[in-house]
Structure 1
């Protein structure tokens, strides 16, 4: 992007009323304890024409966001506290950092080619590269409002993954928007803050599935766009009378297959040969609980689903991979969740995660991971000046990992995929992938 942000203001937003003493010690759930320590970044873009219908003075818009955030934090009180170890949040009302900045470029410069290094400037922190002391200073969440030369704006929010998953982030943004529109805290049910830690009590365990996966040299993240019509074609291409893949299953399978083919091209050039592969998918378990939890339930209510090994030396079909994706996701069923909640059998789950972590590092094995934010409603977040023109994230700088998020029409999928630079160069020329997806230049 080149141009630098001009900081207009930088302050902490505290809840409009203090958190009661009996709520100051918030316990993380067992699932929160297993979550990575980085931040979840969300970016929402609003056009100049929509913003002008609300205010020509962006200072007034900024104040409205701050005031409504302050009101909402009385319900989401852990979000303005500080993490203490891997077990509790001190709900001390230290507040949420809110940065208001200005850029001397039009919003269109970003939207026509949203590369990760340009999007980073629109976030209040580097979500994947913070040291523990920096995370303590930053807190549980942080906000940056960026205004563009044209009058358009971007709202960048980073949420600590130790309590907030993408579904929780979407629910919070929706509640914040409703509060901004004047609907107030009384217009929606208070979030059940303690629910997850009651269902999944904290335990004396620690497994960091992402440890050592950041900071790999020579990796690059690119965005691939699958339109709704192309996904329909892809599903028809994969499907048969006994198997009709979902949109996420189809896109995951194609990206998995394409990355394996890119890795094979690398092995033909003298790099390590890939003989087997497995896929990991993040599974939202709210609807899989009995009884099901609300989509607005707070916390890391998800699990890693890891497939068995797939032999890939002789090549593997797209349908075979799509079926393996479905089989893997369906492993996280009622019995699996029961083990998570058991005082004895949860050890099996932890052991399985540790084995998957070890397997991912083995030579000759390609471990591909995906997380889906499809259907989380980021395009519905209306603070009073209309819905976003564009809603996205920045992808995760973890090799062989893809993040899937809905496109604006709700039919397509935007995929942010991270590979080595050599493999990405091969992937960008994969004819089968390019038949169904477009990519940024």
Structure 2
């Protein structure tokens, strides 16, 4: 089934809407939750993700599906006692009213598509149907998190979650998922969130200007590329240099994406516009002293790398990696380690000043890269196994690379959004395809066929009266 056909045929129908509230009332002294300065400067956007869980026990699909949805609801309520800000509402640019209003929770049914059909050929537009809110609108932006369960006819589930970027980065989303799944499964230690950001980076009481974002969505298209772990090892060897002898996998992959996207843009425009890439980074372990990984908030920094021209009109990969490493080192020294001083706002403004000036220039091609690699999002086991696939959902903004982990093997999955003309060149770049596969199947066909045989044997020999119409793999 083609991905466009899949997106057209698949329908997601909501059947219930609830608000899950903390099981205990938030104490009065915790009702007014302060944003940090970094939260205040964060854009008013959603951070959307979807987690896919197959049905492991097919003995009673309807009962098992109902159990899983109810179990998520029951475990979310006591979980919100510790993660109480997420059950509140954004009051103003300074604070959250932790009023226990609850997390909006939708239940939905997926029609005309089975989980494995979707996982064979993931589609960026179809992914959006699994989300609890329309990420294109500003509706319910006072909410901190929305949840939606999407149940397939085969019993599989897609768990869609939208977090407000005003308090959530990749690290916070990871802590949220680890805490919720740990409570639900009882398999891990209790996750204790740390609410230290506002004391370390105090908010400004007066209204402050958010940093500029060039959010162009005109004629953009999104494609998925997967870098297998073994291919990344080869890519890292290729881009290693005297300056950066041991590049990280994110540095290697993002540099290749940046190079190929710039080549495509320049081929279409005929110009040699300055190419710049902004990369996000987790600053929890880069402050003095380092912050706990469970610190809640938008605790990210950014660094900028510029692609300088040479006689080939393109910078070589090892040079791009070096530029990234230099930008990261400078950002750590001049940004992350100085944020806890009295001039934190000045430090942040200086960081955004250069980015803002570049964003306003017409002769600059600006790329943005974000990564959740290393955040452990595949550890979200609610008691029925880890997700078969976890994916970021593209917001559709031009010139963005969204990187996340593959489930196994140290690979990286990239959702790349470019304008349509640039993508037509980019997705056929032989340098890219040497290391990346274009939208490969998430599931292993051979193992799926073996599973189907096992299911058929069980149905035939163990329960001959089983309703075969449920077998919609």
TM-score normalised per structure 1: 0.92
2:133 is equivalent to residue 125 of structure 1:
yes
Aligned counterpart in structure 1 of residue 246 of structure 2, from 240, 244, 247:
244
User: Using a 3 Å threshold, how does the CA distance of structure 1 residues 376 and 48 change in structure 2: closer, same or farther?
Assistant: same
Displacement after TM superposition at 1:376 (Å): 1.0
Residues 435 and 202 of structure 1: CA distance in aligned 2, closer, same or farther (over 3 Å) = same
**Distance (Å, rounded) in 2 between the aligned partners of 1:410 and 1:77:** 35
**Residue matched to 1:289:** 287
Matched, 1:75 2:82: yes
Equivalent residue of 2:182, what SS? helix
Q: Deviating runs (4+, > 6 A) in structure 1?
A: 51-55
- More displaced 10-residue stretch of structure 1: 277-286 or 239-248: 239-248
Q: Which residue of 2 aligns with 1:327?
A: 326
Q: Does 1:106 find its partner at 2:107?
A: no
**Partner deviation per Cα, 1:314-335 (whole Å, 9 max, x = no partner):** 2211111111111112222244
Give 1:13 deviation, angstroms.
0.4
Q: Cα distance, 1:191 vs. partner?
A: 1.2
Residues 231 and 412 in structure 1, CA contact (< 8 A), matched pair in contact too: yes
Contact 1:396–1:402 under 8 Å retained in 2: no
Q: Which residue of 1 aligns with 2:154?
A: 150
Structure 2 alignment gaps of length 5 or more: 1-6, 441-473
- Give the Å deviation of 1:293: 1.3
The reply to whether residue 305 of structure 1 matches residue 303 of structure 2 is yes
Is contact 2:37–2:345 with CA below 8 Å preserved after alignment? no
Which residue of the other structure, out of 267, 272, 275, is the alignment partner of 1:274? 272
2:438 corresponds to 1:439: yes
SS of match in other structure, 1:292: coil
Determine the C-alpha separation between the residues in 1 that align with 2:83 and 2:382: 18
Equivalents in 1 of 2:309, 2:344: separation in Å?
30
| 1:220 equivalenced with 2:221 (yes/no) | yes
Write the deviation string for residues 247-296 of structure 1: whole angstroms up to 9, x where unpaired: 0110011001001100111123xxxx233122211010011122211111
Q: Give the equivalent residue in structure 2 for 1:232.
A: 233
Which of residues 65, 76, 82 is equivalent to 1:58? 65
Structure 1 residue 31 corresponds to structure 2 residue 30: no
**Shift in Å at residue 135 of structure 1?**
1.6
Q: What SS does the aligned partner of 2:11 have?
A: coil
Name the Cα RMSD after superposition.
2.1
- The aligned residue for residue 468 of structure 2 is none
Q: Which moved more, 1:358-367 or 1:345-354?
A: 345-354
Query: Alpha-carbon deviation of 1:348?
Result: 3.9
Q: Which residue of 2 aligns with 1:413?
A: 412
What's 1:135 paired with?
141
Q: Mind listing any 5+ residue stretches in structure 1 that lack a counterpart?
A: none
Partners of 2:265 and 2:309 lie apart in 1 by 14
